[in-house]
Structure 1
Amino acid sequence: MSEARTGTEHFVDASTQPETRGIEVISDSERHGRARDLFFVWAAPGVSILNFTIGATLILLGLEIWQAFAVIVVASLLWVFPGLIAGSGPAAGTSGSVVTRAMYGIIGNKLFVAFVGWFIGAVFLSLTWLASSFMGADLLRRIGLDDPVWVPIGVTIVVSAITILVAIFGHGLILRIYPVMAIVLFAIFVLVSAFILPTVNWQYTAPEPLGGVPLWSALSIGFTILASTPLSFINSPDIARYLPRSTKPSHIAAATAFGGAIPFVVFTAVGVLLATGLKASAFDAGIDVALFDLLPGWLGPLLVIGVVVNTIALNAMTTYTSSMALQAIGFRLKRIPAAIIVGLVGTALTIYLVLSSSLLEAANLMLQFLVIVSGPAMAIYAVDVIQRRYVYDSVDLFDTGRGGRYWFTGGWSIPGIVALLLGGLVTALCLSTDVWTGPIGQALGHVDLSVPAGMTVSAAVYALLSRTRLGKEGRL
């Protein structure tokens, strides 16, 4: 049986009306845009207070300034992966959550998208809404609204409602407003950074300078936290899928990677510098509170606006792509109701986190665990696009019957499933967090090799098995 979602209806990808298209294939006559348009689409979500928070974490781990900068630069190289896989969107003309049927099989992909798509989506929805909730609540507290429960919940609901609205209007609105958002956000965060710089302790040295195994432990844990951001954007094909089929994958990769990496490097580095001028008590109060205390009264509200705008930029994209993941799983939903459902789930999780944690604790813990699924999944996707050279047949991807090309073995692609499970297992064994350290991580003295080990195993297993009879594609 075929789903027959091959773009026979005419859709208008405009910023002025809700986008009704979901995972339906985009015909060549409806393709538009240029690869460079993707730069600002990815830059807007990257200008984030979460980067400040992660940068400050590197100092808390005991690193010197130059060591923290080195980790940031190395981790930024991982942005090549979202760039590399983004080209599969225009090649197939559909969502990445459909393209992955070529990696996991028709049935296997349903479970993959349900777990990976929803897990990653929920984590990032909640984390970024959490940042705006804390900072919005802190601003309101300073003007007299200090209810510790209902104020942050109210901020969360308002911001999530706007976010869902942007996701409902979809791709056309994202392309139109994200360049403006990126420029506004960059200006606000550069201004904030200008007030942070005078507080920087340029002679900063760690209270207890690290060396040997403890140093490598701190470097590797910091790398894992940083790596989780680029590796989570397995949705990059969804944003690129409207581009003309003739668009060069190298151009798509460059625009996506540089759009994400530049703000990632700049503002995570500023977070490192911010931490050098803070006392230990400031970390206990929270990075968001510490930032407010450093800024003049007129700039604090402007920063909150920047955080809210950034939250909307990142979460609207996440909600948008997660709505298509719901369709790819098999739920018979139009994209707009699916987006509303995704948004409501993310809002509920955010409210739970608002009431149970701090931004720093939530960010660090969830980002580290995220790589268990995101690293192996990204590695498999990258190997697949390289092996296929961006050749994906839209008709075959939507042929979900037993005789379809991507039915594989009973609806499961053994190479993809085995590679994902083994890579996730190795990642977990090598992980080192405050609540879980795998046996390999313990044996190495808490040196965290989870990202390189898990991705290497997944990539190698998938590359090898997909060339055997287990990876054979065909029809009955």
Structure 2
Amino acid sequence: MAASTKNDRVGTVETRGIEPVPDDERHGHASQMFWTWFAANISILGLPLGATLVAFRGLNIWQAVLVAVVGAVGSFALVGALSLAGKKGGAPALTLSRAVFGQRGNHGPTLVTWLSRVGWETISTTTAAYALLALLNTLFGFGQGTVLTLICLLVFIACTLLISGLGHATIMWINKWATVGFGVLNLIVMGFLVATVDWRKVLDAPAGQSSAVVAGIGFIASGTGIGWANAGADYARYLPRAIPGGRLVRASAFGAGIPLVLLISLGSLLTAGDSSLATSSDPVSAINAMLPSWMAVPYLIAAFGGLLMSNHLSTYSAGLTMITLGLRVPRAWAVCVDVVLMFLGGIYFMLIAGDFYGPFTTFLTLLAVPISAWIGVIVVDMLRGRQYDSAALMDTGRGSRYWYRGGFHPPAVAAWVVAIVAGLLFTTAATSADDVWFKGPLATSWLGTNGLGWLVAIVVGAAVYAVLGRRSPVTVDAAPAPTALEEATR
């Protein structure tokens, strides 16, 4: 529904930036988080994730489904839990993070978050442009050329800018109704894809090793929920404080889990009989080739729409993150800056880079570690009962409550850095066996070979901050006492 405030009305540009939302402007229901994360995960990128589980990790379909449930639902339950900070403090995730890391110490996590957002946007934009190119070829016989590629990129970016530029209320409204439409269309397409499955090969496929299941869960978690963990508060900040936190956690977990489990499972089914999806440089065309020719148009529309639903959320969060970094422009203009970078990234992927999945998985592997380290610190800080000072969050000067020592909160910053180092020790980032970008000295250990460097980062970050930050202040003078519901969800 439309908000009753001038800052958050459907169809008008949201004027609020990163400043906390006062209680009298809070509105909405926990179900908004369900639609938010459903919309973010109905894109076809879930299919190649499932394909990877079978083609590269050797799992059978039952193991792949288990991995999808644990990895996707579990990681988005974490997203929901972290979004409670937004409900409590009324500000975007990385703005609230100033209270934990200090005004200057927060620049590191914020920069990593922004890079993550831009990377996801570039991947979504590239895939959507492939979908639009294929649609134009199907309808009009247009071939793929440089000019047409640039036009397709611009069309998708313009759609993204329209939605994310208008802001929170419009996004919430579109998430609900467009997701229903594209969701139904995706279900129809999925039904036809299921008909192409070679069930004999699927049922005869041997089970993979248990270590591969663990690695698969880590891969899915890092490629889905972990990538969104530092954005949950961005969409929960308008919600009333009185909403039970448990509802937000469940809405987030099931909102993302339903489409992801279906898409990842289907990708696994398709790859059990044909590995082309997992190795294709253009996943849109690979999936399109599996469908009857007359299904091409609805499929490509569904692909384009699903990617748009994900991209406008990422772009909205990226705009807020850029302002938190210090970009002194209105929120809508920050979004404009972000889409320019998105366009340049799309050009690189489509017209310069020769591989799609290599950079994709390498990107996920590397950025998952510092994001996970941030998660570990934030979780401990939330459990300690953090209260947010709205004025101090926006005061970046030396007089701010969150200036700490020279702008840094040493316990949090130290824990984050130590956790990153620990995570990277167990991390391998490579596009192929012959193209290794980075390999930690413990990457061949059990944790390393199973891709759990990000989990090490969470655990170490939480443990170090729990020790170093045990005497750090988390309360605010004269702050309202937390409700019983808030206490129950810590």
Same fold (TM over 0.5): yes
Q: Which secondary structure state, in structure 2, belongs to the residue aligned with residue 106 of structure 1?
A: coil
CA distance in 1, matches of 2:474, 2:281: 56
In structure 2, what residue type is equivalent to 1:101? R
1:78-227 residue pairs with structure 2 within 5 A? Answer: 78-113=75-110, 115-142=111-138, 143-204=140-201, 216=211, 219-220=214-215, 223-227=218-222
1:5-20 residue pairs with structure 2 within 5 A? Answer: 11-20=6-15
1:303-382 residue pairs with structure 2 within 5 A? Answer: 303-355=299-351, 356-382=353-379
Corresponding residue for residue 441 of structure 1: 443
Corresponding residue for residue 3 of structure 1: none
CA contact (8 A) 2:80 2:252 kept: yes
Tell me if 1:406 matches 2:402: yes
CA contact (8 A) 1:371 1:427 kept: no
Corresponding residue for residue 75 of structure 1: 71
CA contact (8 A) 2:319 2:332 kept: yes
CA contact (8 A) 2:20 2:91 kept: yes
CA distance in 1, matches of 2:388, 2:260: 31
CA distance in 2, matches of 1:91, 1:350: 37
CA distance in 2, matches of 1:357, 1:310: 25
CA contact (8 A) 1:87 1:249 kept: yes
CA distance in 2, matches of 1:159, 1:279: 29
Tell me if 1:228 matches 2:211: no
Measured against aligned partners, the alpha-carbon deviations of 1:288-316 in whole angstroms (never above 9, x if no partner) come to 22211121223212122122212222121
CA contact (8 A) 1:110 1:330 kept: no
Task: Structure 1: state its 5+ residue gaps.
Answer: 1-9
Tell me which of 58, 61, 73 is aligned to 2:53. 58
CA contact (8 A) 1:225 1:368 kept: no
CA contact (8 A) 1:129 1:159 kept: yes
CA contact (8 A) 2:27 2:240 kept: yes
Q: CA deviation at 1:221?
A: 5.4
Q: CA deviation at 1:286?
A: 4.0
The alignment yields a C-alpha RMSD, in angstroms, of 2.5
Corresponding residue for residue 486 of structure 2: none
Measured against aligned partners, the alpha-carbon deviations of 1:165-188 in whole angstroms (never above 9, x if no partner) come to 111110110111111121112212
Measured against aligned partners, the alpha-carbon deviations of 1:198-223 in whole angstroms (never above 9, x if no partner) come to 222334369996766xx625741562
CA distance in 2, matches of 1:365, 1:218: 20
Q: CA deviation at 1:48?
A: 1.3
Q: CA deviation at 1:66?
A: 1.9
CA distance in 1, matches of 2:30, 2:475: 31
CA distance in 2, matches of 1:451, 1:345: 27
CA distance in 1, matches of 2:205, 2:312: 42
CA contact (8 A) 1:84 1:249 kept: yes
Measured against aligned partners, the alpha-carbon deviations of 1:434-454 in whole angstroms (never above 9, x if no partner) come to 323322122448332212211
Q: CA deviation at 1:266?
A: 1.5
Residue identity (%): 28
CA distance in 1, matches of 2:6, 2:423: 42
CA contact (8 A) 1:405 1:473 kept: no
Q: CA deviation at 1:319?
A: 1.4
CA distance in 1, matches of 2:203, 2:361: 20
Alpha-carbon distance change, 206 to 249 in structure 1, aligned in 2, over 3 angstroms: same
1:42-57 residue pairs with structure 2 within 5 A? Answer: 42-57=37-52
CA distance in 2, matches of 1:91, 1:222: 30
Give the TM-score taking structure 2 as reference length: 0.87
CA contact (8 A) 2:189 2:295 kept: yes
Tell me if 1:302 matches 2:298: yes
Alpha-carbon distance change, 374 to 357 in structure 1, aligned in 2, over 3 angstroms: farther
Task: Structure 2: state its 5+ residue gaps.
Answer: 431-435, 478-490
Q: CA deviation at 1:51?
A: 0.3
CA distance in 2, matches of 1:353, 1:164: 20
- Provide the aligned length of Structure 1 versus Structure 2: 461
CA contact (8 A) 1:13 1:172 kept: yes
Which has the higher mean CA deviation after the structures are superposed, 88-97 or 285-294? 285-294
In structure 2, what residue type is equivalent to 1:247? I
Alpha-carbon distance change, 384 to 211 in structure 1, aligned in 2, over 3 angstroms: same
CA distance in 1, matches of 2:401, 2:456: 31
Alpha-carbon distance change, 427 to 204 in structure 1, aligned in 2, over 3 angstroms: farther
Measured against aligned partners, the alpha-carbon deviations of 1:364-409 in whole angstroms (never above 9, x if no partner) come to 2222222122211222222222222x63231232233324321122
Q: CA deviation at 1:37?
A: 1.9
CA distance in 2, matches of 1:236, 1:270: 27
Alpha-carbon distance change, 312 to 253 in structure 1, aligned in 2, over 3 angstroms: same
In structure 2, what residue type is equivalent to 1:237? A
CA contact (8 A) 1:54 1:364 kept: no
Q: CA deviation at 1:272?
A: 0.7
Which has the higher mean CA deviation after the structures are superposed, 299-308 or 453-462? 299-308
Q: CA deviation at 1:55?
A: 0.6
CA distance in 2, matches of 1:474, 1:267: 45
